[in-house]
Structure 1
Amino acid sequence: MIYLDNSATTKPYKEVLDSFIKVSSEYFGNPSSLHELGGKAERLLMQARGQIAQLLNVQQNEVYFTSGGTESNNLAIKGTALMHRKRGRHIITTGLEHASVKEAMEQLKELGCRISVIAPDKNGFVHAEDIEKEITPETILVSVMHVNNEIGSIQPIEEIGEMLRKHSKVVFHVDNVQGIGKVPLDLYKANVDLCTISAHKFHGLKGNGVLFIRDGLLLSPLLSGGNQEWKMRSGTENVAGIVAMAKALRLTMNNMEKHLERLSSIKRFIIDEMDKIEGVAVHTPERNSAPHIVNFSIKGFKAEVFVHALEERGVYVSTTSACSSKKSAASSTLMAIGIPEKDAKSAVRISLSYENTKEEAEVFTEAVKETVIRLREVMKS
């Protein structure tokens, strides 16, 4: 099996699974309980918080645990809108965002917020000056993803953050689900107020995530109850999953230091090979794109047909993002950068991890070439 759908989810590291089982078995107490079992769980929780804070280069009290990227994005966006609704109801986002951001914006629109959506250029980038043009005294939030989950374009987060220093009342949220462990981002330097990460994108377990909330920033909680996470996110913490997430992040950051150049070279090889195939158009930008994502269209084929044809050969890829892959509509990201709808519906995304090898990339590219030939012959007959 060659697994090339790591932007959808990653295979958990063995060490991560071992940690989860050990904590679940031996430290199963509720961290809010007063007895020793609860105390042990609480100490593990705080230790994991400290480890994640160190890896993100932030303070411990700025790390809030959630159930994953979707919840973190919703808490960041809706929590900001509810907290600052008396000051303004205008929010700025982009045409590149994940469904959890887009749908949160749609809900807020129904509640009376005005949403400005910044269009990307043809290469999949938004520009700080275009965002600044939309800022008004009513603007309370700007939400921009770091790495696009479909084409891999890296947004100019530092430039946008620097621009927003002139608009100090505007909160800056970054969805960093696809960037974490692949594309470095200094949250303080980039003037980021809120940042989302999700464990299962870096070999942790599903159901765990983090929302970085800059010290002093106030949000309205979305979940009420036991006042966990400093009253920001009620609900008994998933201690085993959180400990496992801290380990996964540490291992992934170590792999980034050791293997980022190798990952980039594998991506470069795949793009070069795709460019040699007649009828294939690569949509991932040549420059300023993440080292693990390649998106391309194969003219004349529906994407799902191609995905299943590769699956028969033991190669696993995807169409659009996992949250949208079962919908028949064309990728909104590709449409936003001007790709014709017919080509957008034939788009395939591959996404690498540090565990993928050059040999797997060679097998994949040969499988693509042979599958294209075979499917074209079928269409002719």
Structure 2
Amino acid sequence: MRKTVTCGALLSLAAQIALAQPGPSPAGEITASSEEDRAAGYCDFVRGVGSAEAALEVAPELFAAFGVVNAGEATAGAGTTPLGEPTPRVTAGVNYDVVGLYRGRAIRRRAEADCRRQRALIVLESAIRQGNGLGEETALEARARVLDDALPHAEAMLKALRDDLKLGQVTLEEMNAVQVRLDGLRQLATTTQVARERLAARPRFKAGERLEGVLNELRAADDQFEEYNGSLRRSRAWRLSLRGGYDRLIDVDQDVPLFGQLTLSYNLGHLWQGSANARAREGRRKATIDDVSGVPQRVNELIAELRVVQRTEEGRLREVSTLVSDLEAQLQSMEALQTREIRRFRGYVMLELTRLRAEQAYLRAHVESLQTFLGARAQ
């Protein structure tokens, strides 16, 4: 009996070691951010379920039985004949299915694949929530920096014009024209701040990620998930059982009341599982692609929309850059002219140039972000 308990303890230790082995990290896997992992709860759930199911697969099974069997000998006319008589019997031991090690590992790897799939889904859902505003966060930040640097100088210029108005050096119309330009810059700064706060409240799409790359990761994780499901279905056709322990017949002399048994079983249904599993795997892949309301379809629509936005923003960037160059050239030509009228007109041009520079910074950052998310410049 002690040997039976010792064997069970050793098998349990082997099962714990098997469960403690970390699963592989597939190439291209999306890594969880240390700051925020929106799939952490789901991953804890599937890993916990997987570990609970795998524990029953890789651990040994203890059994005990008590009953009555026909045993012993009876004396008949022709001599001693094993007719048997009811005899109490006690059996206890350990049963272990070696194939369970494979099933337990497959269950844990399936949980990791499910976690990868959920993490990719959340990343793509974040991009879908951003919509055609994807990449706009860095663009708004670039615009805000330009405005933050320029607005104090513009405020000082307006104050100087008000002083000149009191001295009669400028007209009210000239000052109002500059006031309107400055109010436009203030409104643009406010609009930019509101847009940044609105985007900050939405789930963020990690900088540097490519939409198509994350979509491919989702497909790979989903395919791997189904692959492990198929492996588990195939493994249930096999059973390699090690069985041993204590077997005692009461009132019957036994030199060694122990037993051991190795059993290999195979279900012939395994011969037809291969084609069925392949059909299930391919069907799951096609169903994911053909689902009109699924994430892959919505991501493909978003990619097409963003490519249109990218082409539009590139055209606007070229136009705005040309206007900025023209106004900068005008300002340089005004440096040599120091008349009062030119100075007033120079301030007006500077405010317009500030607005265009802010727009240029926004467009440049937006185009660069879109190129990163889309992976290539739209043709």
Asked if Structure 1 and Structure 2 have the same fold, meaning a TM-score greater than 0.5 normalized by the shorter chain, the answer is: no
Higher alpha-carbon Rg? 2
- State the TM-score bracket (shorter-chain normalisation): under 0.3
TM-score by length of 2: 0.19
> TM-score if structure 1 supplies the norm length?
0.19
Richer in helix (by share): 2
